[in-house]
Amino acid sequence: MSHTVVVLTAGLSQPSSTRLLADQLADAVSAAVGARGEAVDIEVIELRDLAADLATTMVAGGLPTPAVAAAREKVSAADGIIAVTPVFAASYSGLFKMFVDVLDTEALNGMPVLVAATAGTARHALVLEHAMRPLFTYLRAVVIPTGVFAATEDFGSTGLGERIQRAAAEFAALVVAVPTAVGGFLPAPTRARQSGNHVGEVTPFSRLLAGHTGHVEHPHPAADR
């Protein structure tokens, strides 16, 4: 069985230490899923490439550009998310939060998420616990126990490699998990995920106004087309 994992990376420079960590996590997850006898497709979304589209979406009242709509579809359809951000002002970057803000509130229901962050100093290590984990928990995602933080001096160290492997193993276990239960005792279904790109039928303003005032309007048959 094949699974899809989307990597969200919010690095601004190129090359980026944030993208480097994201790639290391993706490679470790691919290996961990493969060790379980299953396949995984990794799709990377570079948020720096969506910066202008995200700004346009925000000021347009949430109406997504085609690029943002495509990214939202990928996220809500994924089997798991690897989210990596640089640390700015002791928290996730504004670009990263902007992307999360344009996601549908139902996009990550029950989604396995691996959180990670990069910074110039180890003093920001708690960003995973005070910012990243609460953010995704609010969105009803399932955040794995091990987060991965990497300060500049951590790259190439044994400790970082061990944390990456541990996080990848935990994440892979959730991505490939198949719910099982005794017949007749199935767990309650989880809330369905949705991208938010599909808008339902729009009620014409004339009908809304008529309902508000109590006036029943009888328009011409073609009036609401």
Quote the CA–CA distance of 78 and 7 in Å, as a whole number.
10
Of 69, 77, 73, 134, the C-alpha closest to 111 is 77
Confidence of residue 210 (pLDDT cuts 50, 70, 90): low
Alpha-carbon gap, residue 93 to 201, rounded angstroms: 36
Quote the Cα angle for 193-194-198, to 5°: 165
Q: What is the mean pLDDT of the chain?
A: 87
Contact 58/99 with Cβ under 8 angstroms?
no
The CA distance from 85 to 24, in Å, is: 14
Among 178, 175, 183, 224, which Cα is nearest to 26's?
Answer: 175
pLDDT digits (tens, 9 = 90+) for 19-47: 999 999 999 999 999 999 999 999 999 99
Work out the percent of the chain whose per-residue pLDDT is above 90.
75
Per-residue pLDDT of 142-199, as tens digits, reads 999 999 999 999 998 999 999 999 999 999 999 998 554 454 554 554 678 777 787 5
